[in-house]
Amino acid sequence: MISVRDLRVSFPVGRTVVPAVRGVDLDIAAGECVALVGESGSGKSVTARTLVGLTGPQATVATSHFEINGQDVRGYAERDWKRLRGSFAGLVLQDALVSLDPLRTVGAEITEVLRTHKVKGDPVSLLAAVHVPEPARRARQYPHQLSGGLRQRALIASAIAAGPPLLIADEPTTALDVTVQAQILDLLAERKATGETLLLISHDLAVVSRLADRVLVMKDGRVVESGPTSSLLAAPSHPYTQELVQAVPSAASRGRRLSSAGPALREPAALYSAPPASSAAPSAAPSAAPSVAAAAGGGEGFTSSVSAAARGGEGYASSVSAAARGGEGFALSASAAEREEGERATPSSSADSVVVRAEGLTKAYGRHTVVDGVDLTVRRGEIVGLVGESGSGKTTVAQLVFGLVAPTSGAVAFEGAPWTGLKERRRRSRRRRLQFIAQDPLSAFDPRWTVRRIVGEALPDGETAAPLLERVGLSADVLDRYPRQLSGGQRQRVAIARALAPRPSLIICDEPVSALDVSVQAQVLDLLADIRATDGTALLFISHDLGVVHHLADRVLVMRDGAVVESGPIDDVFHHPQHEYTRALLDAVPNLEVSQA
C-alpha cells in the first residue's frame, strides 16, 4: 500500500535548516497496523503527515522512492494530495477539539467530507458506526458540547467518512481517561478487524502493544529499531528502545528508578507513620453522574475556575501561582467564630506526622454536588494518589485543599492548624509550605519572566536559583530563558524547582506528567520520588494514569461522581479492588506485557 525509501524532511528556522526526518524507510501493507513510537521531536508525526502531503509549504521533502498503491507520488502537487486525502487516508489527531471546526456542528463537519469526495453517506449512520450514543442528537451538537471521548469518536467518523483504506491515528488516546481510552482503542481494533489499515503514532507502548503488528522506533529523525511488536518490545536490542520499555511505570516498577539503571529508590519509611493496612470500606456512589460541564451551570465562577483547571488554563494556573506566593485575592468566606478559632490556632508538634487532614469535604454549585463528603489524610513523606475519570471531582478536591475555593461543608487542617475559612492574611505565612504543580506549567508561568525570576521569586532571601535547578536536573544555561524557549520536560522541572523553593511540607501535583513523553515522564517521576525520599515532602498526586499512580503512590483514593468509592494502601486497592468501579478502571488499563526486570 505504501512504500517509502530514504525519506528526508527539513524545515527552515531563521537562517538555518533543521532536519526533522533523516533517511526513514517505511512499508505498510494492506490490513496491518504499523506503529511509530518515540519522544516528541523524534520525527514520527512529520513522517506520518508526509504520507498525506501535510508537511506544509515551508518543508523540504526528499526521497528516493515514494509509492502509494503502486503510484509514484513524488511529483504530486497540492491539488493531487487534496484529492488523495480523505479518499485514501483519514487523519485522527490528538486534540479533537482543535481538529474539529468550533463553528460547525459535528454533522456538518462529516457532511463536508462526504460532499468533497462525492461519497454517499449519512453523518448519523457514521456516528453510529463509531458507537456514538444518540447519534442523531450528537450530529446537531457543536464540538464543545461533547465530552473528550465523544469528540474523538466524531473525529474518527469524519476520518472514515469517505471510506479510506488507511487510517492515520496520531496520539489518539493521549490525555483521555483510562475508560475512554479503552473505548477508543476498542474502536480502532474493531476497524482493524474489518481489514482497515492503521498507522498509529504514539509514545504509549502499552497502547502500541495492544494494536500494532509492527513497530518502528524513532529517535532524532531516524528509525533506530523496527520489527514485530511482540518480539521488539519483549527483547529490544537498541539502547534507546530498552530505555523506553524500562521507563513504563507500573506495579512491577515500584521501588526502582524508571529513567536509569540506578539503585532502587529509598523508601522513606521513617519519615511518616504508615496508614492502616486495610482498605477503607467503599462508600456508596451517587446514582447520577454530574459532569463538570453540567456542574458549571451552577455558577459563573465555577465555569471559569474549574473549566480552566481541567485544561490547565491560565485562570486556574495563575490563581494557583499567586496563591503559592501568598498573594492577594484568595480570602474565603468564614464565620467569625471560625476565623477566631483559626487565628488562635498554632501548628501541631513535630511528633504529629499528619500534614493535611480533610474531613467531610463537600462542594456544591446550585443543585450539582461535585465533591461529596471526601475524607483525606496525607502524612509527612507520604504520596497519596487521587484517581478517577474527568468530572469525578479530583481537581476540585485539590482546589479545596489548596484553599482556592471554599467548601460548602467540611474542613481542612494543614500542619495541625485550621486552614479552611481563614482570612488569607492569616494563611499567607503558612501558604509557602503548601505548593502546587499544574499539568501545564506554561500556563502557570508569567511568559515575560525568565527562569531565574520564576524560581528566584519563591526562594528565601539570599539564595540563588542555580543550585535548585541543578537538583532538578537543569543546568544554569536555562536561567535566562523564557518559558516558551524550554521543552515540556524542562518547563515541568522548572515548575518542580519553583514548588521546592519554599521548602514545602506538601506539594499538590495535578496531572503533572500526563502530557509528557514516556522517557521525560520517567525522569519527572524519579525526581518526585527522590524529593519525598530526601526531604520528607508529602505529595497529593492526582492522575488518571493508574500505572503512574501504582508506581509512585503509597495509598490511593478512587473517586467517582464526587465521592471516594474506595481507598487504602496502593497494592491492596489495585490488586484486590472491592468496588466495581475500581475494577472497571483497572480492567480498562492497557498493559505492556513485557518483563520489567
Domains and CATH numbers, the chain: 2-253 (3.40.50.300), 269-343+353-588 (3.40.50.300)
Half-sphere exposure of 246 (CA within 13 A, CB side): 18
387, containing H or E segment: strand 383-387
Q: What is the dihedral of CA 537, 540, 544, 550, to 10 degrees?
A: 50
Compute the C-alpha angle 136/140/145, nearest 5°.
Answer: 110
193, containing H or E segment: helix 178-193
Which pLDDT belongs to residue 593?
Answer: 58
Non-local CB neighbours of 421 within 8 Å, separated by 6+ positions: 332, 333, 334, 335, 338, 339, 342, 406, 411
The C-alpha cell 498507522 sits at 199
CA distance 358 to 276: 17
Counting other chains too, the contacts that 287-296 makes at CB distance below 8 Å and 24 or more residues apart are 288/561, 289/391, 289/560, 289/561, 290/368, 290/369, 290/370, 290/391, 290/561, 290/562, 291/147, 291/391, 292/370, 292/390, 292/391, 293/147, 293/391, 294/368, 295/365, 295/368, 295/370, 295/391, 296/365
DSSP helix/strand/coil, 33: strand
β-bridge pairing 538-542 and 506-510: parallel
> In the β-sheet with 222-228, what is the strand arrangement from edge to edge?
89-92, 166-170, 197-202, 33-37, 214-219, 222-228
Which among 476, 430, 432 has a CA at the least distance from the CA of 450? 476
Cell of 486: 524550554
The C-alpha cell 516528541 sits at 40
User: How many other C-beta atoms lie within 10 A of the C-beta of residue 197?
Assistant: 21
CA distance 284 to 281: 9
- Do residues 509 and 402 lie in contact, with contact meaning Cβ atoms separated by under 8 Å? no
Which pLDDT belongs to residue 262?
Answer: 41
Which pLDDT belongs to residue 351?
Answer: 38
Which among 140, 137, 172 has a CA at the least distance from the CA of 153? 172
29, containing H or E segment: none
Which among 50, 44, 51, 61 has a CA at the least distance from the CA of 218? 44
User: How many other C-beta atoms lie within 10 A of the C-beta of residue 269?
Assistant: 10
Q: What is the dihedral of CA 531, 536, 542, 548, to 10 degrees?
A: 50
CA distance 368 to 66: 56
Phi, psi of 21, deg, nearest 5: -130, 130
CA distance 456 to 463: 8
pLDDT tens across the length of the chain (597 residues): 999 999 999 998 788 898 999 999 999 999 999 999 988 778 898 999 999 898 888 899 999 999 998 889 998 988 888 888 878 888 888 777 778 899 999 999 999 989 988 888 899 999 998 888 899 999 999 998 887 778 888 998 998 898 889 999 988 887 677 888 888 888 889 889 988 899 999 888 888 998 999 999 999 999 999 999 999 999 999 999 998 888 888 888 888 888 864 444 434 333 333 333 333 444 444 333 333 333 333 333 333 333 333 333 334 444 444 554 444 333 333 333 333 333 333 334 333 599 999 999 999 998 989 999 999 999 999 999 999 987 788 989 999 999 989 999 999 999 999 999 888 888 888 989 999 988 778 888 999 999 999 999 999 888 899 998 988 888 888 899 998 888 777 888 899 999 999 999 999 998 888 777 788 888 889 988 988 888 899 999 999 889 899 999 999 999 999 999 999 999 999 999 999 999 999 988 887 755 444
Q: How distant, in Å, are the alpha carbons of 447, 474, 482 from that of 486?
A: 11, 11, 7
CA distance 309 to 325: 19
> Exposed e or buried b for every residue in 273-311, given b needs 16+ CB within 10 A?
eebeeebbebbebeeeebbbbebbebeeebbebbbbbbe
Output the 3-class SS for 112-125: HHHHHCCCCCCHHH
Non-local CB neighbours of 225 within 8 Å, separated by 6+ positions: 216, 217, 232, 236, 237, 238, 240, 241
Q: Which residues pair with 71 in a beta bridge?
A: 68
Q: What is the dihedral of CA 536, 540, 543, 548, to 10 degrees?
A: 20
Running DSSP on this structure, what letter comes out for residue 476?
G
Non-local CB neighbours of 458 within 8 Å, separated by 6+ positions: 324, 325, 432, 498, 499, 501, 502
Q: Which residues pair with 374 in a beta bridge?
A: 361
β-bridge pairing 197-202 and 33-37: parallel
CA distance 179 to 162: 28
Strands of 141-234 (E only): list them: 166-170, 197-202, 214-219, 222-228
CA distance 146 to 523: 34
